[in-house]
Chain A
């Protein structure tokens, strides 16, 4: 388990292909404020999980939208 102090953000996305996964994890993975990022293609919600000490959900959504992906924070 990652540190208790960081924030975990969880989103539903429309990513469906392995290449989507590669694109997204590479994109967010190189973001300086992202500590960890993963995408679960096996789940119906194609869950994107981002661990960041500082980013807000809206910023992640914006980054995803810019690349043409739908992205919604999971409640």
Chain B
């Protein structure tokens, strides 16, 4: 008989995430994970039914962590420019604080064979949707297809962020994102979305 232990659960979770980030999905097995987390394989089964169940639960955990970080001090009724800035800053902070969560997330997004639920994302999606439709209603931005909107409003930000994470680019051997650079990009994005 075994009991659950929240601290142990989080150690296992962190180990699993970094193992997946470093070695890929195929590099993570229950036996290997048990060894690296310093627990017996039986302990892992207290928390997870099998490897697949574990991957799904990890994904859900990271997704919820992302959603909580993104919604911090955010209000969907905010003026578009201000709201988008809060989104960028929140996402930036999340990725800087938990870079392995971000990589894990990206890895998942690129593997269609894994089941993904999105229970943790309901509030997040709802907020994002409200935010955009409010801005359209107030005449701050024009109505475009969601993918076009995302490409401009967030795609631009993620491109800049990737340069920041790589720390150097083809044009610049030592690149760092600053608030001033983010603001510059934000202004251009806001301008491009005006009706």
Q: A75–B2 Cα gap in the complex (Å)?
A: 9
Give B51's nearest chain A residue, CB to CB: A42
Contact A40 B2 (CB under 8 A): no
Interface size class of A (residues with CB under 8 A): 10 to 19
Residues of A within 8 A of B51 (CB): 40, 42-43
Is A57 part of the contact surface with B, judged by Cβ < 8 Å?
yes
A74 touches B50 (CB 8 A): no
- Let me know if B40 and A74 touch, CB within 8 A: yes
Indicate which residue in A38, A42, A74 contacts B42 across the interface (CB closer than 8 Å).
A74
The reply on B35 being an interface residue by CB < 8 A is: no
Q: Are B41 and A74 in contact (CB under 8 A)?
A: yes
Docked complex Cα distance between A47 and B40 (Å): 12
Q: In the complex the two chains form, what is the Cα distance from A10 to B40 in whole Å?
A: 11
Bound together, the chains give a CA A38 to CA B30 distance in angstroms of: 15
B2 (CB) vs chain A CBs: closest residue: A8
**CB < 8 Å A-B pair total:** 47
Per a CB cutoff under 8 Å, which of B1, B41, B57 touches A7?
Answer: B1
Whether a CB of chain B sits under 8 angstroms from the CB of A17 is: no
- Would you list which residues of chain A between 1 and 44 have a CB under 8 Å from chain B? 1, 4, 7-10, 38, 40, 42-44
B30 contacts A43, C-beta separation under 8 Å: yes
Chain B residue with the shortest CB-CB distance to A3: B4
- Complex: A44 Cα to B49 Cα, angstroms: 14
Contact residues on B (Cβ < 8 Å of other chain), bracket: 10 to 19
The answer to whether B1 and A43 touch across the interface, beta carbons within 8 angstroms, is no
Asked if B45 is at the interface of the complex by the 8 Å CB criterion, the answer is yes
With both beta carbons as reference points, the residue of chain B lying nearest to A7 in the complex is identified as: B1
A54 to B51, CA, bound (A): 26
Residues of chain B contacted by A38 (CB below 8 angstroms): 49-50
The answer to the question of B130 belonging to the interface, with a C-beta cut-off of 8 Å to chain A, is no
Within 8 A of A (CB), among B25-54: 29-31, 40-42, 45-47, 49-51
Interface string of B39-75 (1 = CB under 8 A from A): 0111001110111000001000000000000000000
Q: Which residues of B contact A42 (CB under 8 A)?
A: 50-51
Indicate if the CB atoms of A43 and B50 lie closer than 8 Å.
Answer: yes
Chain B proximity of A13: nearest CB distance (Å): 12
Q: A47 and B57: CB pair below 8 A? A: no
For A39, give the chain B residue with the smallest CB separation. Answer: B50
Query: What's the minimum C-beta distance from A74 to chain B, rounded to whole angstroms?
Result: 4
Besides A10-B45, A42-B50, 8 new A-B residue pairs in contact (Cβ under 8 A), listed by A number: A1-B47, A4-B4, A40-B50, A47-B41, A49-B45, A74-B40, A74-B41, A74-B45
Residues of B within 8 A of A (CB): 1-4, 29-31, 40-42, 45-47, 49-51, 57
